C-alpha cells in the first residue's frame, strides 16, 4: 500500500491534485504526470524533508517503482516510532 | 585458375583495415542470406542456432577489426566474471569493490585506445608546446560494446537483474553482430531472456524487419551518402567559397545526413536482428519532431542517452540533490560533456556536448516562466506554439552539429561568418538549379521525417499481407534502385569512427 502521506508529498511537489492521481506499488515514476528525470531529485528531497530521514544514494537508485520507495521510507521510519 | 579464385575469395573474406563487412554491401547481403538459411534450418535446435550466431558474429567482428576480436572475447570473459562475482558477493563493500574494478577494467581499455593521444597532447602542450602522438588504432565498435557490457555489471550492482549463469548467452549478447559496430547499445536485462526463447517469428516481424532494412538502405545510401558527397562535404571543406545561404543549407543538410546515416544504420541493425528473432532497443524516434532539447534527447541516439541518464545523470543528481537547481545543472553539464567525450577525444565533441548541457540547463531554468508566459498568451498546446518550438529546437540542434562536423573551430567560425555577413538569399534559386537532386533529396528527407509515424505501421501491414515472393521482389527492387542512385562506393557509416 502507498501511504496517503507519501502520495500527498509527491503530488504537492508536482502540483497535482491528490484525488486525480492513481498510485499503487507497481506505479513507476514515468507513469506519474510530470515526474521526469529533472524533477526527480526535488521529489526525493521533499520526501526526506517531510519524514525527517536521509536516504543513501544507492538506496534511491535501487527503487524501481513507488512500492520500493514506500518500503524504503518505511524502513527508515519504523525505528523512529 | 582455381587457385587464383580461391585466393581472391580468401582475400575478400579476410580482415582488411577500413573495409568492415558493411550492411548494404553485396558481400554482406550474400553472407547474411546463407546465415538466415542455416539459421532457419537449425530453428529447432537452440544450441546450434546460438553457436551459429556466435561464430558468425565473431567472424563479422574479425572482418572489421582483425585481431582485436581477441579483445572482444576478453571483454566478454571479464565482464561475465565481474557479474558472477557481483552476484555472489553479499557485503556491500565487496560489491562496490567489484564495481570499481570493472569500471577500471572497461574504462581503462576504452581510455587507452580512445583517449591516450588526447591526454598526451594536453600534457605535451603544457610541458613543451609540442607532442608526439602514440600510434594507436581504435578497435571499431569499442565504445559501443564497452558500454553494453558495463550496463550488465552496473545493473547487477543496482539489483536490476541477476547475473546469467551461461557464458554462451552472455557472449552472444556482447558479440551479437547486428549491434556490435555502432549500436544500439542494448541492455543485457532485455537481451539475455531473448536468447533462451524459441525461434518463432511472426509474419509481422518479417515484414517489419524487411521494411526497416529497406528504409535503412534508402536513408543511408540515397540520402546520407548522396547529400554528403555532393554537397555537405564540399561546403565544409572550403566554406568561404560559398555564400551564407549555401552554408546554412549545408548545416541543415549535414543535420539530415547525420540522422539519415545513423538512424539508417540503426534501422538495418534492428531489422536484421528482428529477422533472427531478436528485438533490439529503439535508437531514434523522429528526433526533429522534438519540441525542446530535452525532448530531442528522448528521441536521438536513445540507447546512448538513456545509458548516460541511468548510469551517470541519475547517480550524480541524487548525490547533488541538496544543491537543488544547481545540483541538477551540475549533473546536466557533466553528463552532456561526457556524451561529447564519448564520441571521441576531440575538443569539438566536448564543445558540442557542453553546448547541449547549456541548452538543457537554460531549458530547466526557464521552464516555469516559459509555461506561465504561454498560458498567459493562451498559446499553450496550440499548433502555432508547437511549430515554433520544433523550429527553434531544430535550429539549436543544427547549430550544435556545426561544431560536430567542422574539422576545426576556424571552419565553424567561417561558416557562421558567411551566414551572418555574406548571406545572399538571391543565390537560393541558383542553388536549386545547380544542385537539383541534392535539393530534392534534402526536401524529401525532411518531408519523409515529418510524415505521421502511423504511416510506417500501415506500410508494414500492407507488406505483411503480401506473399513472400512479392516481399523478396520488393526488397530486390529497393536494393536495385538504391544501387542506381549510389554515387560512389558505399561510404562508411559515420558512427563507425566512435
Instruction: Indicate if the pLDDT at residue B131 is higher than 70.
Output: no
Domain check: are B123 and B212 in the same one? no
Of all residues in chain B, what percent carry a pLDDT higher than 70? 96
> Most distant CA pair in chain B: distance in Å?
82
Q: In this structure, is residue B2 part of a structural domain?
A: no
ipTM of this complex prediction, to 2 decimal places: 0.90
* Chosen domain end from B145, B170, B196: B196
Domain check: are B158 and B243 in the same one? no
B343 catalytic, yes or no?
yes
Reduced to 3 states, what is the DSSP secondary structure of residue B81? helix
* Minimum distance, in Å, between the CA of residue A72 and any CA atom of chain B: 15
* pLDDT score, position B30: 85
Q: Using alpha carbons, select from B430, B407, B440 the residue that is nearest to residue B236.
A: B407
Does the beta carbon of B327 lie under 8 angstroms from any beta carbon of chain A?
A: yes
Reduced to 3 states, what is the DSSP secondary structure of residue B454? helix
What domains are defined for chain A? 4-80 (1.10.1200.10)
Give residue-wise pLDDT tens across range B445-484.
Answer: 999 899 888 898 999 999 999 988 888 889 888 888 887 7
Does the beta carbon of B159 lie under 8 angstroms from any beta carbon of chain A?
A: yes
Chain A residues in contact with B295 by the CB 8 A cut-off are none
* Minimum distance, in Å, between the CA of residue A59 and any CA atom of chain B: 9
Chain B residues in contact with A37 by the CB 8 A cut-off are 309, 313-314, 317
Give residue-wise pLDDT tens across range B272-311.
Answer: 999 999 999 999 999 999 999 999 999 999 999 999 999 9
Distance CA B205, CA B473 (A): 18
Cβ-contact B61, B180 below 8 angstroms:
yes
Q: Average pLDDT over chain B, rounded to whole?
A: 90
Instruction: Indicate if the pLDDT at residue B403 is higher than 60.
Output: yes
Domain check: are B145 and B257 in the same one? no
Residues near B173 by Cβ (< 8 Å), separated by ≥ 6?
B148, B152, B186, B188, B191, B192, B195
| Dihedral (CA of B228, B233, B239, B243) sign | negative
Q: C-alpha cell of B259?
A: 540522422
Domain check: are B212 and B171 in the same one? no
Q: C-alpha cell of B74?
A: 576478453
Confidence of residue B232 (pLDDT cuts 50, 70, 90): very high
Q: Which one of the listed residues B301, B343, B356, B449 is annotated catalytic?
A: B343
Name the residue range of residue B220's domain: 203-497
Instruction: Indicate if the pLDDT at residue B98 is higher than 90.
Output: yes
For residue B472, whether the previous peptide bond is cis, meaning omega lies within 30 degrees of 0, is no
Which stretches of chain A score pLDDT less than 50? Answer: 81
Contact flag B322-A44 (C-beta cutoff 8 Å) = no
| Closest residue of chain A to B313, computed from CA coordinates | A37
* Chosen domain end from B168, B196, B224: B196
Q: In this structure, is residue B5 part of a structural domain?
A: no
Q: Using alpha carbons, select from B249, B345, B332, B351 the residue that is nearest to residue B293.
A: B332
Reduced to 3 states, what is the DSSP secondary structure of residue B117? helix
Q: In this structure, is residue B359 part of a structural domain?
A: yes
Selecting from A45, A62, A64 the residue whose C-beta is nearest the C-beta of B321 gives A45
Distance CA B348, CA B340 (A): 8
Contact flag B318-A41 (C-beta cutoff 8 Å) = yes
Selecting from B294, B315, B327 the residue whose C-beta is nearest the C-beta of A61 gives B315
Instruction: Indicate if the pLDDT at residue B13 is higher than 90.
Output: no
Amino acid at each position: 500500500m502507498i501511504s496517503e502521506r507519501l502520495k500527498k508529498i509527491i503530488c504537492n511537489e508536482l502540483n497535482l491534485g491528490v484525488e486525480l492521481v492513481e498510485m499503487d506499488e507497481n506505479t513507476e515514476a514515468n507513469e506519474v504526470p510530470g515526474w521526469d528525470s529533472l524533477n526527480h531529485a526535488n521529489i526525493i528531497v521533499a520526501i526526506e524533508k517531510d519524514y525527517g530521514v536521509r536516504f543513501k544514494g544507492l538506496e534511491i537508485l535501487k527503487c524501481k517503482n513507488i512500492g520500493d520507495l514506500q518500503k524504503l521510507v518505511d524502513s527508515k521510519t519504523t525505528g523512529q516510532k | 585458375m582455381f587457385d587464383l579464385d580461391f585466393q581472391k575469395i580468401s582475400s575478400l573474406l579476410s580482415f582488411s583495415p577500413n573495409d568492415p563487412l558493411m550492411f548494404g554491401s553485396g558481400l554482406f547481403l550474400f553472407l547474411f542470406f546463407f546465415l538466415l538459411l542455416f539459421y532457419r534450418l537449425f530453428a529447432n535446435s537452440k544450441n546450434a542456432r546460438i553457436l551459429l550466431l556466435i561464430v558468425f558474429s565473431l567472424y563479422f567482428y574479425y572482418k572489421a577489426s582483425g585481431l582485436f576480436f581477441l579483445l572482444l572475447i576478453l571483454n566478454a570473459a571479464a565482464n561475465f566474471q565481474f557479474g558472477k562475482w557481483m552476484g555472489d558477493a553479499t557485503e556491500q563493500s565487496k560489491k562496490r569493490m567489484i564495481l570499481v574494478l570493472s569500471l577500471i577494467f572497461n574504462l581503462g581499455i576504452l581510455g587507452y585506445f580512445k583517449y591516450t593521444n588526447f591526454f598526451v597532447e594536453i600534457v605535451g602542450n603544457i610541458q613543451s608546446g609540442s607532442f608526439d602522438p602514440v600510434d594507436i588504432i581504435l578497435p571499431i565498435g569499442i565504445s559501443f560494446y564497452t558500454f553494453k557490457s558495463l550496463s550488465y555489471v552496473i545493473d547487477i550492482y543496482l539489483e536490476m537483474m541477476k547475473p546469467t549463469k551461461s557464458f554462451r548467452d552472455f557472449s552472444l549478447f556482447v558479440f551479437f553482430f547486428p549491434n556490435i559496430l555502432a549500436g544500439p547499445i542494448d541492455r543485457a536485462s532485455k537481451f539475455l531472456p531473448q536468447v533462451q526463447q524459441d525461434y518463432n517469428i511472426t509474419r509481422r516481424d518479417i515484414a517489419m524487419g524487411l521494411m526497416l532494412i529497406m528504409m535503412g538502405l534508402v536513408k543511408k545510401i540515397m540520402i546520407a551518402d548522396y547529400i554528403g558527397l555532393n554537397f555537405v562535404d564540399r561546403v565544409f571543406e572550403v566554406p568561404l567559397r560559398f555564400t551564407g545561404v549555401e552554408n546554412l543549407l549545408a548545416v541543415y543538410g549535414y543535420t539530415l545526413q547525420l540522422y539519415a546515416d545513423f538512424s539508417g544504420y540503426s534501422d538495418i541493425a534492428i531489422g536484421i536482428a528482428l529477422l533472427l528473432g531478436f528485438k533490439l532497443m529503439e535508437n531514434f524516434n523522429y528526433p526533429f519532431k522534438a519540441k525542446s532539447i530535452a525532448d530531442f534527447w528522448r528521441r536521438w541516439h536513445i540507447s546512448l542517452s538513456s545509458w548516460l541518464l541511468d548510469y551517470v545523470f541519475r547517480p550524480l543528481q541524487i548525490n547533488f540533490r541538496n544543491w537543488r537547481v544547481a545540483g541538477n545543472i551540475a549533473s546536466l553539464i557533466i553528463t552532456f560533456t561526457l556524451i561529447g567525450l564519448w564520441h571521441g577525444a576531440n575538443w569539438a565533441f566536448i564543445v558540442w556536448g557542453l553546448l547541449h548541457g547549456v541548452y538543457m540547463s537554460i531549458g530547466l531554468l526557464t521552464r516555469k516562466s516559459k509555461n506561465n508566459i504561454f498560458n498567459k498568451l493562451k498559446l499553450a498546446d496550440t499548433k502555432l506554439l508547437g511549430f515554433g518550438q520544433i523550429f527553434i529546437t531544430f535550429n539549436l540542434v543544427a547549430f550544435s552539429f556545426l561544431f560536430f562536423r567542422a574539422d576545426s573551430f576556424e571552419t565553424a567560425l567561417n561558416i557562421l561568418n558567411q551566414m551572418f555577413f555574406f548571406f545572399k538569399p538571391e543565390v537560393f534559386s541558383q542553388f536549386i538549379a545547380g544542385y537539383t537532386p541534392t535539393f530534392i533529396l534534402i526536401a524529401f528527407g525532411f518531408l519523409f521525417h515529418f510524415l505521421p509515424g502511423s504511416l510506417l505501421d500501415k506500410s508494414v501491414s500492407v507488406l505483411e499481407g503480401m506473399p513472400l515472393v512479392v516481399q523478396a521482389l520488393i526488397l530486390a527492387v529497393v536494393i536495385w534502385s538504391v544501387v542506381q542512385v549510389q554515387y560512389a562506393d558505399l561510404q562508411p557509416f559515420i558512427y563507425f569512427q566512435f
